[in-house]
Each structure stands twice: as C-alpha cells, then as structure tokens.
A and B are shown apart, each in its own frame.
Chain A
Amino acid sequence: MKLSALQQSYLGRRSNSFRSSGPLDSSSDGAFKSPAAVFWLVLHGLSCLISLLLGFRFSRLVFLLLSTSSTYTSPFHSPTELAKTLDIRSVIPADPVGNVPLPFPNKTATNSRVVVGRHGIRIRPWPHPNPVEVMKAHRIIERVQTEQRLQFGVKDPRKIIVVTPTYVRTFQSLHLTGVMHSLMLVPYDLVWIVVEAGGVSNETASLIAKSGLRTIHVGFNQRMPNSWDGRHKLETKMRLRGLRIVREKKLDGIVIFADDSNMHSMELFDEIQNVKWFGAVSVGILASSANIDETVVEKRGEEENPRMPVQGPACNVSNMLAGWHTFNTLPFAGKSAVYIDDRATVLPRKLEWSGFILNSSLLWKDGDKPEWMKDIDTLDGDIESPLDLVKDPSVVEPLGSCGRRVLLWWLRVEARADSKFPPRWIIDPPLEITVPSKRTPWPDTPPELPSHEKPVIRIQEPIIKHTTKTRTSRSKRRSKRKHDETRTDRGTTGFDKTLQN
C-alpha cells in the first residue's frame, strides 16, 4: 500500500486544484501496479532524491543533455495522464530527441488545437531585447503620447517666444546649456530670442546653434557691468530689446522671460498656454545659502522651519489676485553681494521678470490690445519691475493654480568677473606641464608620490591651471588653499589615485 500512498500523494499534488479541495471519493481505487508504472515511479523518486542532494532540478539537466533540439525547448513529455485522469496508464517513454511531439490522444473533443498535458516552455535562442524592436516600440509610444496630447492636452497650443539675456562669461555655458535643454524638450513651437551684452559672439552662437531651435540672436552694445545692480538694470534693457524684436517681427505667441541661470519645469510651458493677456507665476528663490547658514539659522532657531521664499502672485480665498509675494531682504541687510565676485548672497529683485508671461499681441503697435498696456516704445529702460509695463497691476492673471504651484526656480551663481576659461571649452593647444602635488586629501594613502608625467597627462581630463572657476562666491571653504596649482594638482592626483586603486 506504500505504492498507492505514493501515487495518492503524487496525484494529490498534481491535481488541478490550487484550492485545498477534498479528493474525489472514487479516486482511491485507481492504483494498479503495472511494471512500467512502477519503474517510472521509482525513477521519479530517485531523481527527486538526487535533486534534493544537488540542490537543483535534476530532471531538467538530464533532458538538456539528451535533447538535441536547437530551440532550447524542454522536450515534450509523454502525455502523463497522471495529471488529468484518475487511473494510471502505462506511460510511453519520453523520446530523447525531444523535438517531435508524440501523437497522443486528445483529451478534449475532436478538432481542437488545444492539447492537454504537459507543454514545453518555448524560449527563443536569444531571449534578450532586440534593439530594432525596442526602437519601433519607442516610436509607437511617442505616437500614442502625441495623440494623447492632442486629445487631452492643451487645445490649440500657441507658439512660445522665449527672451533670454546673456553675456559671455565662465558660467554661461553651464547656465545656457540648462535652459537650452529645457527648451528643446518643450512640445510646442518655440522661438528663442537671445540678447547678448557686448555684441554677438561666436561663443554664444555656437552654443545655441546646437539646440536645433529657431533662434534670433542679437547683440546689445553695452558691456555687462561688474555690479549686480548694474547687471540687473542692463538685463532689463536687454529684455526690452527682445520685446522690441517681437514687435518688429510681429511674432505671435506667448512671451516668457527665461533667464539663463533659471531652472524651468516642463509644467511651466503647459501652464502658460492658459494665459490670456498678462500672467504671473510663482518663482522659487534659491538664494545661495552657503553663507547665510551660520547666521540665519541661529536667528530662526525658535521659528518654524525656514521655507524657501517664493515670489509671485498671492490670491485670496475666491482665487482672485490680492497681492504679491516678494522676497524678504531683511535677513540679508548689509550682507548681500554687491559685486559679482563677492562671496555673499546674491539677492533677487523685488519681482523677477522671469515670473511674468505676456501675450505677444500686447506688444504690437496696432491691433486690439487692452488699454492698460503701456507702449514699450514710450518706456526707456528705467523700469523697476515688469508690473511697470501695465497701468493697473490688478489685471494680471495668476497662473499655476493661483500661484500655489512653483513652476520655475531662480538662482544666481557666477564666477569671478576676471576668471578665464578656454574659449568654447576646447583645450587648444594641449597642456604641457603637470606637476604632481606633495599632499593628497586622502589620509590613508602614502604622502609621497612618484612622479608619473606621461600617464598622468594621457589619462586626466583637461584641467586648466590658471582658472579660478571653482572659486565661486560660495566656495569660501576653499579659500584656505595656498596655491592654485596645488589645488588643481590635487585634482590630478585624485585621478591618479583612482587609477592606481
């Protein structure tokens, strides 16, 4: 009876129910001892034991060795009716050349394609992603998403006109690349008006040419002054210059001001499509906080957590414009940066231009525009804030769920005014001399280093010895260095060390 008990347990396991079902009463009479059945049971028990010892499924290995099929299918077993019926038939031995399925009787009715029994798991020879298919799938996804945007996104999207004042300096590449990449992702038509102080330069032109966007690059014939105040004033004039271009060319769309050091979210471009005439969004102000940490944190010890200041429209309960959030400059009184080189906090203006959005038809000479819009030709650049463009500030539309969503961030980080950088960030001619440093910042490495001249020059990324670009207004900590050279060579040694390790 041990045999039938084995069979019973086997049947109980193999029966189709993942439910803890009671066995059918009539199953107990099913066992009979044919020699083939006994043989297969013994073999099965043996392979089970071997699998237990080895720790993996032994039968798979056997079939792998026996099978000569190229498609890697685990071969078709003989129809083990054990699973589907209650009486055990004599089992047809498995064909070692597993590819050919044995003709076994259909358990289901006639003419069915479906075969009951154990099936092999079909795996193709290289079960990994096919790059061609992946690309096709991505194109399908893009097409579906375009369709979704057409159906559920903004109806009749208007062209976006971006006005960016810029000038050639060390950090220009960093900032302008960020803005450029954001604009390249915008799904709507775009025109980028870049106004450059100091005239049109190849530097800027080569940068913005990489974007593939439609750009209008104009020069402004004044050099950027060294003080933050002067810089803000000049930028205002440059923006007005950009607006004049919109007027001259009668560009149609939505005008936004993208300062090159700001960070824009993609939702911003979706939200500004809702503007009718003149809108405002909330701008998060990331005044560089490295220096205010010590002083401000002490002061605010008892208050609640210092929240990031936000500039933008303030609404009352009925979602109407009630006022403006502006930046609180009191904590920084006397400690803000005046010159670009200063290592103090750079403060924003009361209201930043980048938080305002205009309908371009407001700027045209003729055409129907509301009477509260001033003519930009009559203004002359002495504008404090963009609200001076309108006669009545209450007509401004608050966007971004009434100013509650912050859609872009303002940050000013610049290098020293006299810092130099390789033109277009290309090292030409290549560096000649590199001197290894005598000290390394890693304490567990030996202090003395042999001087490898050649490998170091070969491997390292080009580091300019003369640049002071890392000495920003925030890097007060690094001012303790003695030599510029030492510091840059530390960088060199750093690369060196990583290679040795």
Chain B
Amino acid sequence: MRKCLWLWGLLFFALGFAWSITAERNPCTERISGSAGDVLEDDPVGRLKVYVYELPSKYNKKILQKDPRCLSHMFAAEIFMHRFLLSSPVRTLNPEEADWFYTPIYATCDLTPTGLPLPFKSPRMVRSAIQLISSSWPYWNRTEGADHFFVVPHDFGACFHYQVTDSSLPRLAGILPILRRATLVQTFGQRNHVCLNEGSITIPPYAPPQKMRARQIPPDTPRSIFVYFRGLFCDVNNDPECGYYARGARAAVWENFKSNPLFDISTEHPTTYYEDMQRAIFCLCPLGWAPWSPRLVEAVVFGCIPVIIADDIVLPFADAIPWEEIGVSVAEEDVPKLDKILTSIPSHVILRKQRLLANPSMKRAMLFPQSTLPGDAFHQILNGLARKLPHPKSVYLNPGEKILNWTAGPITDLKPW
C-alpha cells in the first residue's frame, strides 16, 4: 500500500517536472499561436516545388543595373524574392514536377529622379514577359497562369493604372487583365477592393534589416514615449485641403492631438527615428494614399505596438499572424477618440502584446534578410503558396480553351515593350 502511494507520488512529481521543462517559461516573450496554428514556424521545404523561368535580363538584371536604388527602397521585395528562389531548396529545374511557376520581372524598378516608381510602363513589360513565356513554355497556356505567381509590391499591387477606379472604364481599372488568374504576392491589401484578388498573398513591404539591427538600443532603456509617429499629415502638393490623402485620417490625427504631450507626432525626419521607435509604446500606422506602409514592419521589429488606422485593410500574412492580438486596430471615424481608446487598454493586455512582439519569430517573419533565415518573410510566402496546394482541377484548362482577354486594356498598353 505504501509502495503504491510512493510510486504514485513519484509519477506525479516526474510529470510535473517534465511539464515545467517543456512549458514555455520565458517571461519575456510569448509564443504566437496563429489562427492557423503556429504556422509561422512551418518549413516550406518539401511541401512545394517552384520553377523559375529564365527570362532575358532585360526584364530583371538590366533594369536593376540602370538603377541600383531599387535594392533599398520599400519595393525591393521583388528583387530579393528572385534571388532567394534561385538558391532555395524549393527550386526545381524540372518544370514538369513544379507546383508553382515564378516569373522574375522587376516591374517596380522604373524610378523617377526622386526615387518614386512609375508603374505606367509596367503593363507592357508584364505583357511582353507573359507572351514570351507562353510561347516558349507550355505551362502558361495549360492553366492561363493559375499556377503562376508574381511579386507585385507596388502601391496598389497589380493595378498599374491605380488612379482609375471607375467601373465605367473597365479597360483601365483593376488588376491587369492577364494577371487575373495568377496568384499575386503584393503588399497592398484592402477588403472588397478591385486591386486585391481572392487568394492573393499579402506581404510586408521591404525594410532594410541590417540598418534596423545596427540601430538597436539597449533593451533596458525605458519606453517613455506614449504614442509616436513621423510622417506627412497632409500631402499639400497633391491635396491641399487634406481631404483625400489618407481619407482625412492623418489630418484628423494632427488636428486632434498636435497639442497633446503624450503624442510625439510631427513631420520631421529625425536621424534618431529608429531609436525613438524603440522608446515608444505605441506607434501609429495610419494609411496614406495606400493603406499599407513600412511603419508596420518597423514597429514590429522595434517592439512598438502598431496602431493601425486603415479601414478594411488586409495585413501581411493575415492567415498566419493574429494581428488583433499583436496590434491595435482603430477605425478611421474613431480617430478623435484615439487617446481614450489607447488609455483604456488594460495594462496586462499591453504587456502581453509587447511579449508577443518580442518573440523573435514574429520579427523574422516581417523581414527579408540578405542571407535567408528560417521563418523569414520568404519562407512565409512559400508557406502561403504551399497552403494553396494542391491546385483544384478547375485551374487546368482544356487545350485551346481561353479565358483571359489578351486585348483588354488601353491601346498604349498593348504596344510591345
């Protein structure tokens, strides 16, 4: 009898000990249980195969040579994705066994002297590339692009004529017609918007990882700024009344909180921008002309809770990252009450969000490092593509069947590139 008790006691003790070892005991960070169940740490290798088309260098390398600024601006993901895929284990040289096909076109690398991309020639470029691949390989015609993916990190994704949203001009509005069946990997995400296809993968914009790592301050520096934001409130060159830019939300933030000492907001470009973000508790990420911005990536990397002010935005990797638990979402109409909303968050919730942000896998998932790490944004893109497999039977077309309208679009877009 006593022996039994002793044995039971030992068993319980052993179980408790084992549980305490395996449970996450790190008080600093917390595991993110994603909505799809810890998918941030999935390894895509072995789950999919990607074939990279060999396009002439005028579509990629030559453009980059003309303007090396493309490697450091926020649209650089398209270039780094190409480089990553060329040396990744998911790449296959046999197109017959590939699940996905990648076309390396640097469509966002045509820059103005000030460094902003002009997407107006991109339709012609994409069109000419697709004509090339459809004539040299049979895989495009097999599915009309449904098992192909393209990286289009521009402001409005693959809507190269982004000014046009009127449905009376369908030839201009929306996603480029020939890309409508392909999977688009883009930074733009807004629900019920023509520029976001069902099944697109939203990614974060490119932010330079080395620069951010180099400017880290000691973690015991107390966070003394309550809310931080640096950027434009009103794009006076294009919208003097400030009613169009950011749908009036940024101007509302300024008007309501410019005199509030808790809100460190201004239009300056300080040299200590990264360091300041590490000393702030909340970082505002309001929409601009487009709903996304690199501020989200910077906030996550520096441990500042992102306050997202963009109605209907689709955040990066939304099916893998539970953004409501990590950041704070504020409707644009609630901007005048922003201080009340932020101060009414209980402090244990704030501390939990900070712990989730401190998780290194969270930070890695937002970055495109030069030498790839497990769990970084490249892997998350591949995870997203792997989750869409296997392709449904409907993507495969009968020979001779055509769905896409190759002549859609303005006459200028149909000119060869």
Contact = CB atoms under 8 A, between A and B. Distances in A.
Interface of A: 13-22, 24-26, 57, 59, 74, 77, 81, 83-87, 107-124, 127-130, 133-134, 136-137, 139-141, 143-145, 147-149, 151-153
Residue picked from A14, A16, A83, A145, most chain B C-beta under 10 Å: A16
Contacts of A127: 255-257, 259, 336
B260 A152 contact: no
Contacts of B220: 148-149, 152-153
B244 A118 contact: yes
A122 B336 contact: yes
A151 to B, nearest CB: 5
B241 interface: yes
A215 to B, nearest CB: 28
B311 A119 contact: no
Contact of B248 (A110, A111, A119, A148): A119
Interface stretch (B46-54, B56-64, B269-277, B347-355): B347-355
A140 B243 contact: no
A110 B222 CA distance: 47
Closest 8 CB pairs of A and B: A119-B248, A152-B220, A124-B336, A112-B192, A136-B343, A118-B243, A85-B166, A19-B116
Nearest to B258: A127
A13 B244 CA distance: 13
B65 to A, nearest CB: 22
A143 B354 CA distance: 12
Residue picked from A17, A59, A86, A149, most chain B C-beta under 10 Å: A17
A124 B336 CA distance: 6
A148 B235 CA distance: 38
A40 B243 CA distance: 19
Contacts of A111: 192
B226 A123 contact: no
A18 B192 contact: no
Nearest to B174: A109
A137 B261 CA distance: 11
Nearest to B247: A119
B344 interface: yes
Contact of A152 (B219, B239, B281): B219
Given A114-B247, A121-B242, A137-B262, A151 B252 contact: no
Tell me the interface secondary structure of chain B in the complex.
loop
Given A114-B311, A133-B339, A141-B226, A123 B163 contact: no
B166 A19 contact: no
Contacts of A129: 259-262, 339
Given A24-B410, A108-B165, A140 B343 contact: yes
Contact of A151 (B28, B281, B343): B28
B261 A16 contact: no
26 contacts: A16-B238, A18-B116, A25-B411, A57-B241, A77-B243, A85-B168, A87-B168, A108-B165, A112-B191, A112-B312, A114-B193, A119-B244, A120-B248, A121-B252, A121-B255, A122-B248, A122-B333, A123-B255, A127-B256, A134-B262, A137-B342, A140-B343, A140-B347, A141-B281, A144-B281, A145-B223
B94 interface: no
A139 B351 CA distance: 13
B24 to A, nearest CB: 15
Nearest to A107: B165
B112 A83 contact: no
Contacts of A136: 343-344
Interface string B149-171: 00000000000011111111100
A112 B193 contact: yes
Nearest to A60: B241
Contact of A17 (B238, B251, B350): B238
A144 B347 contact: yes
A320 B255 CA distance: 58
A84 B166 contact: yes
Contacts of A123: 252, 255-256, 336
Contacts of A117: 244
Given A121-B243, A123-B336, 18 more contacts: A15-B163, A16-B162, A107-B166, A107-B167, A108-B192, A109-B192, A112-B312, A116-B165, A119-B243, A120-B248, A124-B337, A127-B256, A129-B260, A129-B261, A129-B262, A140-B345, A143-B351, A144-B223
Contacts of A147: 351, 354
A16 B27 contact: no
B211 interface: no
A422 to B, nearest CB: 39
A117 B166 CA distance: 12
